[in-house]
Structure 1
Amino acid sequence: MLTRPSAFAPPAGEAHWLDVVRELAVGFAERAPGHDADSTLPLENLQALNASGLDVAVLPAPHGGGLSFATIGAALVEISAACPATAALWLMHAGAAHGLVSLSEPTAARFYAAELAAGRRFANALSEPSSGNLFLTPQQSATPVEGGWRLDGAKRFVSGCEVADHFLTNVLVGGVPTFFGVAKDDSVSFAGVWDAMGMRATRSQLVSFAGTVLREERRCAVPPPTSANLISVGLPFLSLGIARAAVDAASEHARGRFLPGVGDVLASLQWVRFEMAGLHVALRGAFLMAEQVAWLADRDDPQATPAAVEAKLAANEVAKAAAALGVKIGGASGYLSTSPIQRHFRDAQAGALMAYSVEVCSDVVGTWVVQSPR
């Protein structure tokens, strides 16, 4: 994909992390079609990222991390372009771990940081079947028991739940949304149904909690309302990686597809160049929006959170557009299950469905626009 220098580029001192990720991404890309076809979790990819030290690097600086949001975003693009399911799993894993370390009291925070360093897996269990996109406003109430609260309920779309050792979840405690860290035990089970159209290797299943005790010492502080979190900052980059892969696949096909009636390759057709130009400009804009979010988050600017909503909307839409153009350029060849074009098309839909969905983002952003005095 054609790129330009960015004013929001990652710090030069962190460039080695992108080299590490790019090297690992070669193997991720080779294994991606197989994991997609079989709907199997790319555990070897996740373990490789942990072994590289990237998991710990994203933690807050007092716990051995401190990697900038700018570098995390750029790394996500590389991972997602190679294997979007791996990128989604890693983002949710790192986001849950970062949240537990950031919001827990010191003893619990050190415990979770050590667990992450040791290769334990983390997952977000926030979305309820009844709450839709409103994953931060749970409807389930926990019942007081000795040592904490009892949770009976389910959370859906929990990526990587089968291999998770710890979950970040939220419930109502006294009518107030409250976060907890929960260790997997016999009270936690999974619904073995996952046959998605895209992002098949995330295996984002339903998790049931039957009498699970939410321990008082694993209760988290309330997240600062203006503080950006790893997942909200990272989600736009997830879609941008898919868009980049879709553009690269379509461009490669256009350059290599000879048209006998034309006497030249598909890339020589004006309509292909025109549509690619429009997509390129839209994609550059979406990249700049996402990079600005990371820049704001690195400065702890409260504008990072609303900007992330706008950036996710832009990235989700441009990923779908890039993937759709790929199918158009690929023609019947791109429609075959053996082509990466069709896989990019299926994966591109996922970002728009992830909370907050494009419809929710559109409503929020549209409200901001029409209510703004200037």
Structure 2
Amino acid sequence: MPVSPTPFPIADREAAHIATVRELATDVAAQAAERDDKAELPREALAALHEAGLNKAVLPANVGGEGLSYVAYGEIVRTLAEADPSVATIWTMHSGAGVGLSQLTAETKGSFYADEFLAGRHFANALSEPTSGNRFLNPQQAADEVEGGYQLDGAKRFVSGSEMADYLMVNVLVDDAPAFFAVKPDESVTIIPIWDTLGLRATRSQLLSFNKTLLRHEDRGRALGPGDFAAVPAGLPLISLGVADAALASIVDHTTNRMIMGKPLSHQQWVQFEVADVQSRLEAVRAYVFQTLWQADQGDYNALINLSRSKYLANKIAVEVAQLAVRIGGASGFLKSSPIQRHLRNAQAGQLMAYSTEVLAGEIGKHVLNVTEGA
């Protein structure tokens, strides 16, 4: 079923980018099952996005790009995620790292990284580490000062697209405070092949080992600021929304074509009731997420705090729609030939991505109940 269009205005050039992504999504979706089965990086799909000008579009205008609005960016990520959430995840992380390094190092090498991003080099986020859990912006690994910069011995996990990364965005503790660096992988950075997972298999989010890796002074960035384009926090809820949309589409397809006692399964009242419930709540979550993105576009950067709630709600509804698809699909939904099993695995993966639903629930609950640390 068609997704309700966003009620928020977008520029004509942004509408053109969205239309382009919708066209590309057909081929992306056609290859999603094979990529999932082989856990194969979607190199062609990512190259097509670059050739279509999406990297230039997402790069903020103040660092040499077009500067997509949050609303347009959200619809692009959602569209990609409906087709293949692994493609959407890698592109979101690539955008987050490329845009982030262009912004955070703007006073030093930002223009270089912006040019590399525009030239089609691949960027990856290497922020999450085994010792920090979900708190990927609060690293526990300290870098020692050496000639020319700092030296990192440690590991980063779940680095999506790491095997094709030309540059990494890395954070470490410097003088007990988080610091961000750009790293060009060399012989000191080793990929530990651990990726054999249930969901988002084509992201190939490997573990990276850093052995005395030099973090150069000139590649150090400033701290994240309220005016920076938050590609990853804004993109994560939309990945789950796309998975939910894909799962709902599989329900519609299955119930329309599956005959029970001479009638399509869609004629059964329990199916209608269950679908009405999840579809209505999915639309409510969608409205909340895009309202938050629109507020961010208006300069209300406090709205970015609501992206945590957006991710929580989107993660939850994606799992619920996918679980209903399994119930309705029955045993056939377990078959490898069915997209239903893939949607369920991808939905579960979304809520494990930082911050996980459990961590977000704790933060949201504390805020609602006015609970402060140490009180």
TM-score, length-normalised on structure 1? 0.96
Conserved in 2, the CA contact under 8 Å of 1:228 and 1:304? no
Cα distance, 1:226 vs structure 2 = 7.6
1:24 is matched with 24
- Shift of residue 7, structure 1, vs aligned partner: 3.0
* Cα pair distance change 1:5/1:88, threshold 3 Å: closer
Q: 1:170 to 1:280 in 2, by over 3 A?
A: same
1:10 Cα deviation from its structure 2 partner: 3.5
2:135 counterpart residue number: 134
Question: 1:310-352 CA distances to partner (integer Å, 9 max, x unpaired)?
Answer: 1100000000001001111111111101100110011011110
Give a deviation string over 1:92-132, Cα, whole Å, max 9, x none.
00111111011113441110111111111000000110110
Amino acid across the alignment from 2:61: A
**Distance across 2 between alignment mates of 1:45 and 1:218:** 29
Measured in 2, the distance between the counterparts of 1:105 and 1:333 equals 53
Query: Contact 1:228/1:302 (CA < 8 Å) preserved in 2?
Result: no
Name stretches of at least 5 consecutive residues in structure 2 with no aligned partner.
none
Residue of structure 1 in register with 2:190 after alignment: 189
Structure 1 residue 305: deviation in Å? 2.0
Displacement after TM superposition at 1:301 (Å): 1.1
* Offset, 1:202: 0.4
- Within a 5 Å distance, the mapping from 1:298-337 to structure 2 comes to 298-337=297-336
Deviation at 1:225, TM superposition (A): 5.4
Q: Which one-letter code corresponds to 1:276 in the other structure?
A: V
The C-alpha deviation readout for 1:182-217, integer Å capped at 9, x for no partner, is 111111110012100010000001011111110001
- CA shift, 1:227, in A, is 5.5
Q: Structure 1 357/94 Cα, relative in aligned 2: closer, same or farther at 3 Å?
A: same
| Cα displacement (A) at 1:19 | 1.0
Provide the rounded CA distance (Å) in 1 between the counterparts of 2:74 and 2:137.
Answer: 23
- Report deviation, 1:65: 2.0
Taking the TM superposition and a 5 Å limit, the aligned residue runs for 1:106-121 are 106-121=107-122
Paired residues of 2:134 and 2:354 also in contact (CA < 8 A) = yes
Hey, what's the Cα distance between the residues in 1 that align with 2:181 and 2:125?
11
Aligned positions of 1:159-174 closer than 5 A: 159-174=160-175
Deviation by residue 1:267-315 (Cα, 9 ceiling, x = unmatched): 0001111011110111011101110121122122122222101110000
The answer for unaligned runs of 5 or more in structure 1 is none
| Aligned counterparts of 2:324 and 2:132: Cα–Cα separation in 1 | 34
Deviation of 1:234 after TM superposition, in Å, equals 1.1
CA contact (8 A) 1:56 1:113 kept: no
Q: What SS does the aligned partner of 1:186 have?
A: coil
- In the alignment, what sits opposite 1:291? 290
SS of residue matched to 2:179: strand
CA contact (8 A) 1:293 1:307 kept: yes
Pair 1:103–1:87, CA change in 2 (3 A):
same
The answer to whether the 8 Å contact 1:151/1:213 transfers is: yes
**Counterpart amino acid of residue 360 in structure 1:** V
Shift of 1:264: 1.0
- Measure, in 2, the Cα distance between the counterparts of 1:30 and 1:9: 31
User: Partners in 1 of 2:4 and 2:34 — Cα distance?
Assistant: 33
Partner AA of 2:47 in structure 1:
Q
1:13 shift after superposition: 4.2
Given that 1:228 and 1:300 are in contact with CA atoms closer than 8 Å, whether structure 2 keeps it comes out as: no
**In the alignment, what sits opposite 2:97?**
96
- Tell me the amino acid that sits aligned with residue 97 of structure 1: G
SS at match of 2:199: coil
Size of the alignment, in residue pairs? 370
- 1:74 equivalent in structure 2: 75
The 1-side partners of 2:65 and 2:111 are apart by 11
Cα distance in structure 2, aligned partners of 1:278 and 1:171: 45
What is residue 56 of structure 1 aligned with on the other side? 56
After superposition, what is the alpha-carbon deviation per residue over 1:218-266, rounded to whole angstroms, capped at 9, x for unaligned?
1001112586611101110000000000000111100111112xx3110
**Contact in 2 for aligned 1:227/1:305 (Cα 8 Å):** no
In percent, how many aligned pairs have the same letter?
A: 47
Q: Helix, strand or coil for the counterpart of 1:167?
A: strand
Checking the alignment, whether the CA contact within 8 Å between 1:126 and 1:170 is kept in structure 2 is: yes
Specify whether residues 16 and 128 from structure 1 end up closer, same or farther in structure 2 by C-alpha distance, changes over 3 A only. same
Matched, 1:152 2:132: no
**Partner Cα distance (2:305, 2:116) in 1:** 32
Determine if contact 1:289/1:311 at 8 Å carries over to the other structure. Answer: yes
User: 2:206 is matched by which residue type in structure 1?
Assistant: Q
Q: Pairwise mapping of residues 254-265 of structure 1 onto structure 2 (< 5 A)?
A: 254-260=255-261, 263-265=262-264
Report the Cα distance in structure 2 between the residues aligned to 1:275 and 1:371, rounded to whole angstroms. Answer: 35
Q: Give distance in 2, aligned partners of 1:11 and 1:89.
A: 25
Answer yes or no: is the 8 Å Cα contact 2:99–2:229 preserved in 1.
no
Cα distance, 1:127–1:341 mapped onto 2, change above 3 Å: same
Distance (Å, rounded) in 2 between the aligned partners of 1:200 and 1:128:
20
**Inter-partner Cα distance in structure 2 for 1:221 and 1:8:** 32
Q: Which amino acid aligns with 1:332?
A: A
> Would you say the 8 A contact 1:59–1:98 is kept in 2?
yes
Instruction: Give 1:244's aligned amino acid.
Output: D
The residue aligned with 1:245 is 246
TM-score with structure 2 setting the length: 0.96
Following the alignment from structure 1 to structure 2, what is the Cα–Cα distance between the partners of residues 224 and 370? Answer: 27
One-letter code of the match for 2:20?
V
Bigger CA drift: 56-65 or 166-175?
A: 56-65
Look up the match of 1:39: 39
